[in-house]
C-alpha cells in the first residue's frame, strides 16, 4: 500500500533524483546564496540591538537614529529568517546520513564558537565597568551545556534563546534521521509537526509546548518544505504547506511585535512585520526554485562563516563597547566601527577557535561512535 501511495507523488525516487547544485564558486553542492542570507539575517539582528534596542546609549535610540530606527526596529525578524534557513539546511545536510553523523555535525558546528562566546561574554561583562553584572560562575557552567533555558537558568547572553530552539528542532529531526529521510517520510513529519503545533498553541508552558514550540515551528517546517522543493521540484502540496506555515506564523509574530514597545520604548506599525516575513518566505522560494543560482560571489562562504560567531558575540559585548566609547565618538560613526570590529573578532573566532576545536571534536566523536558500533 505504501509503495502504491508513493507512486502517486511525482519526483520522489531518492535513488534517481539528485539535488541541483548552485554556486560554482563554492564547494560542490554548496548554495552560496544561503551564506549571503545568513549574513543578512545576522546583520539585521545586530542593527536591531545597536540601533533600535538602544543597547549602551545614554539617549533614546529613536532620537539618535531618526532615519535608521524605523527600519532597524524590525531587525528581530532576522531570527525568523534564520529558522527558515535552518529548516532548509538541516534537511539538506542530513539527507542520506546516519544519526551519528547528524549528531557529530551539529556538535562540531554549534559548540566551539558557543563555548568561546559564553566565556568571552562573561569576562567582558566582568571586566568592563558598568551596571551589567556577570552571571554567577555556576550559571555560566550551566550555560556551557546550551540547556540553560530548560533547566531554569538565565542566559549569559539574551540571543542564546534561539540556540535552544535550534536544539529542539535537531532533537525532533534526529528521529527522522534515525527513521531514514525520504520525501514521503519528511512530508509526514512536517504534517505531524504542524498538527502538534496547532494543538499546542493554546496550551500553557510545559514540556510538551517546549518540545513542539508552536511559536517558531512554522519557520522550521517551511524551511524543510523549501528543501523538498529544491530537491524534488515544487508542487501544489509543498506550496500549500509553505503558505499554511506563513499564515500560521503570523499570530505569534504579532505577539512578539506587541512586546517590542517594552524593548524599544516606542510603538512601530505591525504591517511591516507581515511584509518582512512574507519577503523572507519569498526569497526562500526563489532559492528553492533555483532562481538565485546566479549568485556565485567568492566572498560569500567567508560571510557565511562569520555569521554564527557574530550572532553569538554581538549583543552584550557590543553593548559594553558602545557604553565605553559613546562619549568619544558620534553614534553614526561608532555603530559601523563596532560592527566592523565584531566582524573582525568573528573571523578570528572562526579561524582560531571553530576550525581547530571543531576538527578535534569531530575526530574524537568519530572514534567514540566507532567504539560503540564495534561493541
The residue extents of the domains of the chain are 33-374
Q: HSE of 339 in the Cβ direction (CA atoms, 13 Å)? A: 19
* pLDDT, mean over the chain: 90
DSSP-assigned letter for residue 51: I
Q: How far apart, in whole angstroms, are the C-alpha atoms of residue 292 and residue 275?
A: 20
Give the separation between CA 73 and CA 61, rounded to whole angstroms. 10
Using pLDDT thresholds of 50, 70 and 90, give the confidence band for residue 374.
Answer: low
Residue appearing with cell numbers 535552518 = 86
DSSP 141-156: HHHTTT-TTTTT---S
Cell of 116: 568561546
How much is the average pLDDT of 62-79? 95
Region 295-309 average pLDDT = 93
355 in Cβ contact with 109 (< 8 Å)? no
Task: Please report, for residues 49, 148, 250, 272, 336, the alpha-carbon distance to residue 265 in angstroms, rounded to integers and kept in the order given.
Answer: 13, 28, 23, 18, 23
Q: pLDDT tens-digit profile of 230-255?
A: 999 999 999 999 999 999 999 999 99
Q: Rounded to whole angstroms, how far apart are CA atoms 72 and 250? A: 20
User: Which residue has better confidence, 330 or 7?
Assistant: 330
Mean pLDDT, range 134-144, rounded to an integer: 95
| pLDDT given at position 8 | 33
The Cα–Cα gap between 361 and 105 comes to 10
178-216 pLDDT tens trace? 989 999 999 999 999 999 999 998 888 889 999 999 999
What percentage of residues in the chain have a pLDDT greater than 70? 91
The C-alpha atoms of residue 149 and residue 164 are separated, in whole angstroms, by 7
For the cut 50, the answer to whether the pLDDT of residue 2 exceeds it is no
C-alpha cell at 348: 578570528
**pLDDT-derived band of residue 56, with 50, 70 and 90 as boundaries?**
confident
Residues present in the chain in total = 375
Predicted local confidence at residue 29, as pLDDT: 63
6 has a pLDDT exceeding 50 = no
Q: Lowest-pLDDT range, 5-14, 78-87, 324-333?
A: 5-14
Task: Give the per-residue SS3 of 338-372.
Answer: HHHHHHHHHHHHHHHHHHHHHHHHHHHHHHHHHHH
| 23 has a pLDDT exceeding 50 | no
Amino acid at each position: 500500500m505504501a509503495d502504491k501511495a508513493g507512486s502517486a507523488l511525482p519526483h520522489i525516487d531518492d535513488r534517481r533524483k539528485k539535488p541541483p547544485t548552485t554556486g560554482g564558486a563554492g564547494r560542490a553542492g554548496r548554495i552560496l546564496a544561503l551564506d549571503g542570507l545568513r549574513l543578512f539575517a545576522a546583520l539585521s539582528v545586530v542593527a536591531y540591538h545597536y540601533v533600535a534596542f538602544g543597547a549602551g546609549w545614554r539617549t533614546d535610540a529613536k532620537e539618535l537614529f531618526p532615519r535608521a530606527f524605523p527600519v532597524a526596529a524590525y531587525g528581530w525578524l532576522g531570527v525568523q529568517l534564520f529558522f527558515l534557513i535552518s529548516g532548509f539546511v538541516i534537511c539538506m545536510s542530513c539527507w542520506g546520513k546516519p544519526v551519528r553523523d547528524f549528531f557529530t555535525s551539529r556538535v562540531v558546528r554549534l559548540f566551539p564558537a558557543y563555548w568561546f562566546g559564553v566565556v568571552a561574554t562573561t569576562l567582558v561583562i566582568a571586566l568592563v565597568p558598568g551596571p551589567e553584572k556577570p552571571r554567577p560562575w555556576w550559571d555560566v557552567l550551566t550555560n556551557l551545556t546550551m540547556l540553560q533555558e530548560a533547566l531554569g537558568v538565565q542566559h549569559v547572553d539574551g540571543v542564546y534563546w534561539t540556540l535552544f530552539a535550534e536544539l529542539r528542532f535537531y532533537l525532533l529531526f534526529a528521529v527522522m534521521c534515525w527513521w531514514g529521510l525520504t520525501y514521503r517520510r519528511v512530508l509526514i513529519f512536517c504534517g505531524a509537526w504542524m498538527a502538534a503545533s496547532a494543538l499546542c498553541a493554546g496550551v500553557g508552558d510545559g514540556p510538551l509546548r517546549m518540545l513542539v514550540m508552536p511559536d517558531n515551528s512554522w519557520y522550521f517546517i517551511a524551511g524543510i518544505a523549501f528543501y523538498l522543493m529544491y530537491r524534488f521540484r515544487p508542487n501544489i502540496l509543498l506550496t500549500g504547506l509553505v503558505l499554511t506555515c506563513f499564515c500560521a506564523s503570523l499570530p505569534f509574530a504579532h505577539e512578539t511585535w506587541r512586546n517590542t514597545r517594552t524593548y524599544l520604548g516606542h510603538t512601530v506599525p505591525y504591517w511591516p512585520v507581515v511584509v518582512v516575513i512574507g519577503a523572507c518566505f519569498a526569497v526562500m522560494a526563489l532559492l528553492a526554485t533555483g532562481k538565485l543560482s546566479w549568485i556565485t560571489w567568492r566572498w560569500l562562504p567567508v560571510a557565511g562563516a562569520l555569521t554564527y560567531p557574530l550572532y553569538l558575540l554581538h549583543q552584550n559585548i557590543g553593548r559594553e563597547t558602545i557604553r565605553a566609547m559613546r562619549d568619544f565618538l558620534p553614534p553614526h560613526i561608532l555603530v559601523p566601527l563596532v560592527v566592523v570590529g565584531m566582524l573582525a573578532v568573528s573571523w578570528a573566532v572562526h579561524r582560531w577557535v571553530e576550525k581547530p576545536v571543531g576538527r578535534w571534536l569531530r575526530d574524537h566523536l568519530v572514534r567514540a561512535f566507532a567504539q560503540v558500533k564495534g561493541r
